[in-house]
């Protein structure tokens, strides 16, 4: 090898080894075959050394050969005497055949020629390099692009290689002569459906920020964290996939994803005069500039590995990530990009989780964004208990047993980051979301369990849920959905915050439900076996703080904003149901309640019902305005009933609306049809239609009116 290199015949040396290996007679000689295989591995491993400095083969190549390598055993005596301490090396050759070095920037794509002789690589350094697959020698460097080369491909006969670049061109080269054959121009952008250049930077190094840092992953809401961490991995890899129809980026293959397809190649734009937004944009611009060096740094590799570890640690054993389709799908994609096989356990379980979200109907298979079994069960149980009907008792008892069985008592979720001493005890919305129990479901579960059996106030399920909610009350007195003190709203000014929901601050609707649960616990503690004394004191203190928060967040109209239900009717209903349990003991509550009641009266529709459209999230002038729906009418009635007599004209008209619109359904019984979405995922972006909302909420309203009417009579 040394001599052949000095003669400039290094490629021929490897060719001779390949020729000898192909000889059938030699192949049958196991000992000689092993010598040839070992010699070839040595040549491939030290090709660059032999080409640049052939006389250094003994001091640089042989020294680092595996201890059991045949070449080392045969030539070990030739090691230079001046090397006193030999490095620690592997015993046998690794699976790595060659390392091809020569690019000065990150390598984005590689492609083997169909004839197997060449390998092409496209790089951030704006070049395409062609390598000899047999020897690893650099054959050609193709230069001409003015921006990074993101994709390369060979023609079927291997004579030509095409390269696509962020400079909006495709170039075709002769793979033998390296001459440029043609430049194809005309793309409005970089030859892909949506360019990575139009996507804000998401550096994986974000995961390395300590939990005490001003910005870290745990300052993001749980729903953001579940999708951001896989996106950090995806943004690092920047995968590019061909469109199934094989056409260029100017086609209409996925135009359905855009409200206006003409805007699909418009990148995000820098902000105006907001200092915080401009600061984040400047950081993003800097990260774009440093993208190449960062992608090949050891720190980047470590950060990506930390992301993958987080992803694996946060997968429920059933396969879900947060019980939410976007996070589950994106985590699967991140694992795939990191080399996980489709048949690997995490990916397989993730795919099974997605399948569970699928539903088949006349239009084919559709994916639900999530499911709500715990939420629906606790609220239906509350409705059954409110009716007080003997026929409902068995159903309610069975439901409560199921609810208790779904309490999260062992898994320590993300809340432990800021409450490390707190034991689990919450409930989640979905079947599987153990790492992110939510406060709304937990409060509703307390209501269902205690309404079904007043003595359950001292049960482990209620005590654990109570401790859980007490420990996760915000400094401002309210509760968010999943996180404590997750109110860094400035994060919404980051370039990738397209929905302004990166945080999980306290909301009036969740706080109102927790307050209702606290009121029920304190009420039952007066008549049934009580909560422990120290817990009663803490619940009272917590309730006082929650009431102060609700007073501070009341709108000038008297209403409260609804984060998780549409909109001011929902928020006001939850708050008044909570305040009602404390109105007799706290003098300030009637003054707060009065304008809320007047607002609800003022927005009642002519048909006796209440309704509010999604437009109220766009403009407050639409607050409380919309066609009547069963669920929103029920919310309004439940808010009014604790404070108005059952015979009040407004209340009676609302009850008459529900009675008049109740409709026969398939099978036994009656329900209420409802076509409007009254549930909220992300304000102004994602709304939900709960199939059971127009059933159990009217059940609650009618049952509570019946009780109130009996008392009035």
Catalytic positions: 440
Residue 234 to residues 122, 230, 250, 319, 330: CA-CA distances in angstroms? 19, 6, 24, 20, 9
Q: Which residue bears the tokens 């968010």?
A: 480
What tokens were used for 127? 């070049």
**Helix, coil or strand: residue 688:** strand
Q: Angle formed by the axes of helices 568-579 and 589-602, to 10°?
A: 150
Residue 538 to residues 163, 178, 462, 531, 532: CA-CA distances in angstroms? 67, 77, 15, 11, 10
Q: What are phi and psi of 122, to 5 degrees?
A: -105, 140
Q: Cα separation of 262 and 605, whole Å? A: 41
Question: H/E/C letters for each residue in 145-174?
Answer: CCCCEEEEEECCCCCEEEEEECCCEEEEEE
Neighbours of 247 (CB within 10 A): 12
**Burial classification of residue 463, based on how many CB atoms lie within 10 Å of its CB (0-12 exposed, 13-18 middle, 19 or more buried):** middle
Q: Dihedral of the CA atoms 646, 648, 652, 655 (nearest 10)?
A: -50
Burial readout 194-225 (b: 16 or more C-beta within 10 A, e: otherwise):
bbbbebbbbbbbbbeeeeeeeebbbbbbbbbb
Q: Dihedral of the CA atoms 349, 407, 472, 457 (nearest 10)?
A: 170
**Helix, coil or strand: residue 704:** helix
Strands 118-123 and 686-688: unpaired
Angle of CA points 253, 255, 261, to nearest 5°: 135
């Amino acid at each position: 090898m040394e001599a052949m290199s000095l003669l400039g015949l290094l490629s021929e040396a490897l060719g001779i080894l390949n020729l000898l290996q192909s000889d059938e007679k030699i192949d049958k000689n196991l000992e000689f075959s092993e010598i040839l295989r070992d010699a070839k591995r040595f040549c491939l491993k030290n090709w660059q050394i032999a080409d640049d400095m052939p006389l250094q083969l003994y001091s640089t190549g042989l020294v680092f050969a595996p201890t059991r390598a045949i070449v080392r055993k045969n030539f070990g005596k030739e090691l230079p005497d001046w090397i006193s301490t030999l490095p620690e090396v592997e015993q046998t050759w690794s699976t790595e055949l060659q390392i091809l070095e020569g690019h000065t920037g990150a390598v984005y794509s590689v492609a083997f020629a169909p004839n197997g002789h060449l390998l092409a690589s496209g790089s951030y350094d704006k070049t395409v390099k062609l390598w000899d697959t047999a020897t690893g020698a650099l054959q050609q460097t193709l230069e001409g692009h003015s921006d990074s080369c993101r994709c390369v491909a060979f023609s079927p006969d291997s004579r030509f290689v095409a390269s696509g670049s962020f400079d909006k061109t495709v170039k075709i080269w002769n793979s033998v002569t390296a001459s440029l054959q043609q430049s194809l121009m005309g793309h409005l952008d970089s030859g892909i459906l949506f360019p990575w250049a139009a996507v804000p930077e998401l550096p994986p190094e974000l995961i390395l920020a300590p939990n005490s840092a001003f910005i870290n992953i745990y300052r993001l809401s749980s729903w953001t964290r579940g999708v951001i961490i896989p996106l950090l991995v995806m943004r690092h890899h920047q995968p590019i996939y061909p469109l199934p129809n094989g056409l260029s980026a100017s086609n209409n293959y996925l135009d359905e994803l855009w409200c206006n397809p003409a805007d699909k190649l418009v990148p995000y734009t820098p902000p105006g005069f907001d200092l915080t937004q401009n600061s984040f944009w400047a950081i993003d611009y800097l990260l774009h500039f440093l993208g190449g060096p960062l992608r090949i740094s050891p720190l980047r590799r470590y950060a990506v590995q930390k992301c993958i570890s987080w992803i694996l640690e946060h997968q429920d054993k059933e396969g879900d990530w947060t019980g939410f389709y976007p996070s589950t799908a994106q985590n699967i994609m991140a694992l795939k990009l990191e080399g996980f096989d489709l048949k690997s356990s995490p990916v397989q379980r993730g795919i099974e989780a997605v399948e569970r979200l699928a539903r088949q109907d006349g239009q084919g298979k559709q994916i639900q964004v999530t499911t709500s079994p715990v939420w629906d069960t606790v609220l239906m149980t509350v409705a059954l208990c409110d009716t007080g009907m003997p026929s409902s008792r068995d159903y309610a008892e069975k439901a409560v047993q199921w609810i208790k069985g779904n309490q999260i008592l062992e898994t320590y979720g993300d809340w432990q980051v800021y409450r490390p001493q707190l034991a689990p005890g919450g409930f989640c919305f979905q079947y599987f979301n153990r790492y992110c129990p939510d406060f709304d479901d937990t409060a509703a579960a307390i209501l269902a369990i205690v309404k079904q059996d007043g003595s359950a106030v001292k049960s482990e399920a209620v005590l654990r849920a109570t401790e859980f909610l007490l420990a996760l009350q915000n400094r401002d007195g309210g509760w968010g959905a999943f996180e404590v003190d997750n109110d860094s709203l400035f994060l919404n000014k980051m370039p990738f915050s397209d929905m302004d929901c990166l945080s999980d601050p306290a909301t009036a609707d969740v706080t109102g439900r927790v307050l209702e649960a606290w009121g029920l616990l304190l009420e039952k503690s007066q008549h049934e076996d009580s909560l422990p004394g120290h817990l009663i004191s803490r619940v009272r203190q917590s309730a006082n703080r929650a009431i102060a928060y609700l007073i501070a967040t009341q709108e000038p109209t008297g209403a409260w904003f609804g984060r998780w239900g549409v909109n001011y009717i929902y928020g006001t209903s939850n708050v008044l149901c909570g305040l009602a349990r404390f109105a007799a003991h706290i003098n300030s509550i009637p003054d707060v309640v009065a304008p809320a009641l007047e607002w609800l009266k003022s927005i009642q529709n002519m048909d006796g019902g209440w309704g509010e459209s999604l437009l109220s999230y766009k403009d407050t002038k639409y607050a409380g305005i919309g066609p009547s729906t069963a669920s929103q009418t029920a919310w309004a009635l439940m808010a009014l009933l604790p404070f108005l007599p059952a015979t009040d004209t407004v209340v009676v008209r609302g009850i008459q609306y529900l009675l008049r619109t109740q409709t026969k359904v398939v099978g036994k019984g009656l329900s209420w049809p409802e076509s409007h979405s009254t549930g909220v995922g992300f304000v102004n972006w994602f709304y939900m239609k709960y199939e059971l909302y127009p059933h159990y909420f009217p059940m609650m309203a009618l049952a509570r009116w019946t009780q109130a009417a009996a008392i009035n009579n």
